[in-house]
Structure 1
């Protein structure tokens, strides 16, 4: 039962193969088993690849089975259409398009399995790429907020420096009127005279201005700091909103690109393995000598070809004979006097009717 199933998978004619030896059946059962297990591997590979896309087990398995059946049908068609020829060169020409198709199928099957085999290494590459993307994303978002924040910081520094400068000025005025009172500078007279009072009043006025400036600038600094805190909060919000996009950067295309960044030699070996599996039925048919099955199949196809050619030849002879018979029949009829007199009489009547009709038409015109 299992052997007949694998023979069915090979695309061989079971009726013809039943007339062959057990060795022929075993050969085609082996070819069919290769076709079947290649389709199984294609189903697994497609299911995994689609699971990375849809993240749904049922959908991935469903489409994986459809893809596996498609590959099974293609492989079965490829193997069953390769016929043994008298020349190996003719066989290679016949098989070259099928070998090319087998290479394409091997690539399609091996790539998803490579993604699964090197999953840990791919995850490491993706993690590094995500970290780089996170840093780049933060830098790009910072460009939207940094100018405003830096402007506010610069304004705060200016406001603070303005207070410091005013404090320095007030301190200098304080030192001036104290020195005047002590007689160290100015008039160099000890005591609180008119000059002292003038300098003291100027100091007190600047001290009041300093107090007002300090209050005003402190309010501005507080407002600017609140604005900077708001901008920083908006920046963090933007980062949090865009981070899930980066975290979800692990789809099929991203994994394929990550796989391409890994050393190519292991991937090449896996591809060669599946290429060998995919092309093995074709190579087996090309290398194997003509067997009883091939001879019987060629005989059957030759018999059909001969029968078709005979039928076409008979139809051509029938058409030719019928044409010759018709020509002779019509030639004999053309020589009969009775037929000539009858057609002459009808032609005369027709010409008379035409003449009468023409006469009536002309008369009505006049």
Structure 2
């Protein structure tokens, strides 16, 4: 039963092979098995590739099955249509489109399986790429907030500098009136005289301004710090919102690109393996000598071709004979006087009716 199934997969005529030797049957069963397992590998590869796209088992299996059946039907058709010829070059030229197609199919089949075989290595490459993307994303988002944060920091620094400058001025005035009281500067008179009082009042006025400035600037600084916190929270929110996109950066194209980052030699050998599997039915038929099945197929096709040619020749002869007979029949009829007199009578009547109709029409016009 399995042998019959593989013979069916090869596209060979089961009725003709049934009367052939076991060796001939085994050859085409082997070709059919290769076609079947190639389609099976195509189904598995397509299912895995589509699963990475749709992330759904049923969808991936359904479309993978459709792709596998397409490859099976295509392989079966092309293998069954390759006919043995007297020249290997003619056979090779006949199979060359199929070989080119085999290269394309081998790439399509092997690539998803390479993704599965090197899955861990690809995950490592994707992790590094995701980390790079995360850092790049953070830097890109930060560029939107950096000018605003720098502006706020500048304002805070200016407010703090105003307080510092005012404190320096107040401290200088304090030192001045203390030095006046101690007689170290100014009038150099010890005691709290009019000059001391004047300098003390100036210091106290500036001190009051410093207290007011501190309160005002502290409130402003607190407000600016709050704005910085809001910007930081907004920055973190944008980073968190964009992070899922980076985390999902593991689709089919991303994995194929990650695979290209790995050494090419293992992938190349896997491709060669599938290319050998895909082209093996073709080269099996090209390299194998003419067998019993080939001669029987050629005999059946030659018989049908001869029979078709005979029918075409018979139709040509029948048509030529019919033309000859018709020429003779109508030639004999043309010589009969009875037919001549009858046609003459009919022509006379027709001309009379035409003349009467013309006369009637002209009379109506004149009236």
CA distance in 1: counterparts of 2:246 and 2:328, whole angstroms = 91
The residue aligned with 1:332 is: 332
CA distance in 2: counterparts of 1:29 and 1:360, whole angstroms = 90
The residue aligned with 1:192 is: 192
The residue aligned with 1:203 is: 203
Runs of 4+ more than 4 Å apart: none
CA distance in 2: counterparts of 1:326 and 1:153, whole angstroms = 113
For residue 190 of structure 1, give the secondary structure of its aligned residue in structure 2.
coil
Which blocks of at least 5 consecutive residues in structure 2 are unaligned? none
The residue aligned with 1:130 is: 130
The residue aligned with 2:94 is: 94
The residue aligned with 2:360 is: 360
CA distance in 2: counterparts of 1:136 and 1:317, whole angstroms = 86
Q: CA deviation at 1:296?
A: 0.5
The residue aligned with 1:68 is: 68
Deviations 1:173-195 (A, max 9, x none): 11111111112111222222221
The residue aligned with 2:40 is: 40
Q: CA deviation at 1:332?
A: 1.7
Q: CA deviation at 1:8?
A: 0.9
CA distance in 2: counterparts of 1:155 and 1:257, whole angstroms = 47
The residue aligned with 1:246 is: 246
Which blocks of at least 5 consecutive residues in structure 1 are unaligned? none
Q: CA deviation at 1:53?
A: 1.2
Q: CA deviation at 1:196?
A: 1.3
CA distance in 1: counterparts of 2:13 and 2:251, whole angstroms = 44
Q: CA deviation at 1:303?
A: 0.7
Q: CA deviation at 1:221?
A: 0.3
Q: CA deviation at 1:229?
A: 0.2
The within-5 A match list for 1:1-366 is 1-366=1-366
Q: CA deviation at 1:326?
A: 1.5
For residue 188 of structure 1, give the secondary structure of its aligned residue in structure 2.
coil
For residue 84 of structure 2, give the secondary structure of its aligned residue in structure 1.
coil
Q: CA deviation at 1:308?
A: 1.1
Q: Does 244-253 or 142-151 show the bigger shift?
A: 142-151
For residue 28 of structure 2, give the secondary structure of its aligned residue in structure 1.
helix
CA distance in 1: counterparts of 2:341 and 2:304, whole angstroms = 55
Q: CA deviation at 1:76?
A: 0.9
How many aligned positions are there? 366
CA distance in 1: counterparts of 2:363 and 2:61, whole angstroms = 92
Q: CA deviation at 1:151?
A: 0.6
CA distance in 2: counterparts of 1:107 and 1:333, whole angstroms = 76
Q: Aligned-pair RMSD on alpha carbons?
A: 1.0
For residue 186 of structure 2, give the secondary structure of its aligned residue in structure 1.
coil
CA distance in 1: counterparts of 2:144 and 2:297, whole angstroms = 76
For residue 184 of structure 1, give the secondary structure of its aligned residue in structure 2.
coil
For residue 86 of structure 2, give the secondary structure of its aligned residue in structure 1.
coil
CA distance in 1: counterparts of 2:191 and 2:327, whole angstroms = 159
CA distance in 2: counterparts of 1:326 and 1:216, whole angstroms = 125
Deviations 1:333-362 (A, max 9, x none): 122221111111111111111111111111
Q: CA deviation at 1:52?
A: 0.9
Q: CA deviation at 1:61?
A: 1.7
Deviations 1:2-34 (A, max 9, x none): 111111111111111111111101111111111
For residue 133 of structure 1, give the secondary structure of its aligned residue in structure 2.
helix
Q: CA deviation at 1:312?
A: 1.2
Q: Does 323-332 or 37-46 show the bigger shift?
A: 323-332
Q: CA deviation at 1:220?
A: 0.3
